[in-house]
Structure 1
Amino acid sequence: MKKILIIIDPQIDFITGTLGTPEAEEAMDKVVELLDNESDEYDAITITQDSHFKETYFQTKEGKNLPILHCPFGEEGWFVESRIANRVCKHKNFTILHKENFGYNNWKETIMNITNIPASSKGEKLVIKIIGLVTNICVIVNAINIQTIFPEAEIIVDAHCCAGTTPEEHKAALAVMKSCQIKVINE
């Protein structure tokens, strides 16, 4: 059995920056606790990092629908929260993935590489816990993408280590994930 922890976008702009919320701050405190207590249980830890570019963001679909520049590549809001970064970097097998939209588009190859599971795997011996920000956008998109690629894997979303754009959107996203047979814990 291989266990992976995926932390979606634990970046300054989603916590205390341009799109930050008190719920996000609280969720990231829970992520730090989880890392302190569970890191050694995982064969790999992966962080996604939302990455936008000032020059082109407002021409993208996301920029037109969410006209708030966030996570501009290389600037303060783009960086992973330091307590989380410091803990993850101590893990024996960690990866940081940059993505320019809601979902990371290469989960199959990435997960196969970090776990050494065969290309034919449907995730039969795979447990993937997903936590992070924002529940109703990037967390749900990546959880469903991974569920689609590895339909036999146990996909777990730890609700108290996530936060949505609002508490209501957070709860709605959790309900949708449960209906897609993603296990939601700690609601």
Structure 2
Amino acid sequence: MKKCLIVVDYQNDFVTGSLGFEKAEQLDGRIADKIEKYRNDGWEIVFTFDTHEENYLHTNEGRNLPVEHCIKGTDGHKLYGRTAEMLKERDKCFFKPSFGSAELFEYLKSKKFDKVELCGVVTNICVISNAVLSKTALPEAEVSVDSTCVASNDDNLNKSALDVMQSLQINVF
């Protein structure tokens, strides 16, 4: 059985930087432990990086969320904490200019994983986007989200996103 863990946007700017929030910081140990366990169990580990250019404020997203974040080449773009230490050279990384990753979608389709799990931030934006992409790329795979390893800066939106994912036959546990 081919298994993949997707660590979504666990970057400095979403944890302690310009869009950081306390609940994101609390995920670090749980995500790092999950990566270590799953890697030891033979899972493939992939990472997504929210990635913007200097012109971010002039993009559609920047006009709707006018807070510079995850600018390529800055500390805010880098992975956070213990999770950053878990990144290995062999891990696939996807640098995405928006919420979901078209490149990740194609990669998942080509690899034909049987099981995909997502963790990271922000639940109601990038986690849900990439979970839906995963389910679309692999309609027969078990796609799941560990609710203890995702967070949003808004508890209501976090719960709503988890509920929507569950309604899309994404296993939320």
TM-score range with shorter-chain normalisation?
over 0.9
Residue 6 (structure 2) aligns with? 6
In structure 2, how many angstroms separate the alpha carbons of the residues matched to 1:165 and 1:152?
A: 32
Distance 1:44 1:143 in 2: 16
Deviation at 1:82, TM superposition (A): 4.0
* Counterpart for residue 167 of structure 1: 155
- Aligned counterparts, 1:167-186, within 5 A: 167-185=155-173
> In 1, distance between residues paired with 2:37 and 2:81?
18
Question: Among residues 129, 142, 145, which one is paired with 2:117 in the alignment?
Answer: 129
1:77 aligned residue:
76
The 1:80/1:176 distance shift into structure 2, 3 A limit, reads same
Q: Secondary structure at the match of 2:84?
A: helix
* Runs of 4+, deviation exceeding 6 Å: none
Matches within 5 A, 1:16-165: 16-54=16-54, 56-89=55-88, 93-112=90-109, 115=111, 117=112, 126-165=114-153
Distance 1:36-1:44 versus aligned 2 partners, 3 A rule = closer
RMSD over equivalenced CA pairs, Å: 1.6
**Structure 2-normalised TM-score?**
0.93
Distance in 2 between the 1:175 and 1:43 partners?
26
Cα deviations across residues 89-147 of structure 1 (Å, max 9, x unaligned)? 17xx411110000010123432255x4x4xxxxx6xx1001000100000000100111
Q: Which runs of 5+ in 1 are unaligned?
A: 118-122
* Secondary structure of 1:152 counterpart: coil
Contact (CA 8 Å) 1:3, 1:41: kept in 2 or not?
no
Aligned partner of residue 165 in structure 2, secondary structure = helix
Identity %: 37
1:120 corresponding residue in structure 2: none
Q: Is the 8 A contact 2:28 2:82 kept in 1?
A: no
Look up the equivalent residue of 1:40 and give its one-letter code.
Answer: N
Extract unaligned runs of 5+ from structure 2: none
